[in-house]
Amino acid sequence: MRWIASHKALVIVLSIFLLIVIFFVASWQLQGAGNAVGNVARTAVSFIQKPISNLTDRVSSGIKSKFSDDKLLAENEQLKKEVSDLKLELVTQRLNSEQFKLLEDLSRIFDAKNSPLNYKYQAANVLTLERSGVFNIFTIDAGTECGIVRNSVVLNGDGLIGRVLSSGEGWAKVIAVIDENNNVSFEVEHSGKTSLGVCHGTGDGSLTGNMLDEAGVAVEGDLALTSGIGGIYPAGLVIGKVTKAEFIKGSYLMRVDIRPVINFKGLRKVLVIV
């Protein structure tokens, strides 16, 4: 009795629960009766079953919904991965197609003895163009991860663009052939004779240079190609066309002006020899 007195709340709850169970069992037994007692019993069972049934349905629905949501999430993630893979494949195919087109264009700027297939290339996009003082520099979106290092040669289907000044993971800075500090050895062929010279940028987008010996001759319209001397630029790359050729006053050497074949303002994609 002392325990009951000290646990009144628990006893009340247990008593109510016990009464509900007894009532439910009795109602269940009596619900089949055809009299008024049976009707009351059926009503009571229905009253009790309804919230229980609703609770069961909610739990079941929640479990199904959870499994359904998990399945949908898994399917969604799988679809996202497949879409991502397809996008990557499309990008790769597009880049391969663009690089192949650039490689095809290279056949126009190399002479027969210097096939473009003798080199390995990395295609890249031009990120920024910079003009500061005497420098003509731009950044591309490929670097050391692709084997691009200092003095890697940069070109496209029109001709020589420049060389790499520095590189890192995912980037490289390129100094253009039209920069004042970028000397390039070139050769021109005139009347069956090849003459050597050295040119550099003038700061206004063109090139100027001198022939290296007194026998060197060039005329307007001659094509200036890289000579291969100096160990950086391979021979046979188109630099530009001679726009002016005259003897230096007081000297037997010729001075030449060259217009580059590259449109540096419209530069978007390049190839780098790696």
Asked if 178 and 264 touch (Cβ cutoff 8 Å), the reply is yes
Answer yes or no: are the C-beta atoms of 130 and 260 closer than 8 Å: no
Class in CATH terms, 118-274: mainly beta
Which pLDDT score, from 0 to 100, does residue 37 have?
A: 47
Q: Which helix (H) or strand (E) holds 272?
A: strand 269-273
240 in Cβ contact with 261 (< 8 Å): yes
Enumerate residues 6+ apart whose C-beta is below 8 A from 141. 124, 125, 127, 170, 171
pLDDT bin (cut points 50, 70, 90) of residue 41 is: very low
Closest of 151, 138, 110, 134 to residue 238, by C-alpha: 110
Confidence band for 252, pLDDT divided at 50, 70 and 90:
confident
Digit-coded pLDDT (tens) for 185-239: 999 987 778 899 999 998 888 999 999 888 788 899 999 999 988 889 988 889 9
Res 98: pLDDT: 54
**pLDDT-based confidence at 68, cuts 50/70/90?**
low
Rg (CA), the chain: 42
CA dist., res. 187 & res. 221, Å (int):
13
User: Which of 170, 71, 178, 97 lies closest to 127 in space, CA to CA?
Assistant: 170
Q: What is the pLDDT of residue 17?
A: 58
- Within the chain, all domains assigned CATH 2.40.10.350 are found at 118-274
Residue 242: beta bridge partners?
Answer: 258
Mean pLDDT calculated for residue range 168-196: 90
Report the distance separating Cα 199 and Cα 230, nearest Å. 13
Mean model confidence pLDDT for the chain:
75
φ, ψ for residue 211 (rounded to 5)? Answer: -75, 150
The answer to pTM > 0.85 is no
Looking at residue 266, its pLDDT comes to 82
Number of helices and strands in the chain (H, E) = 3, 12
Q: 112-153, pLDDT tens digit by residue?
A: 345 455 678 888 999 876 655 445 889 999 999 999 999 999
Tell me if 27 sits within 8 A of 37, measured CB to CB.
no
HSE, side-chain direction, 13 A CA sphere, residue 64: 6
The whole-angstrom separation of Cα 32 and Cα 262 is: 99
Q: 87-96: which pairs have CB atoms within 8 A and are 24 or more residues apart?
A: 95/123
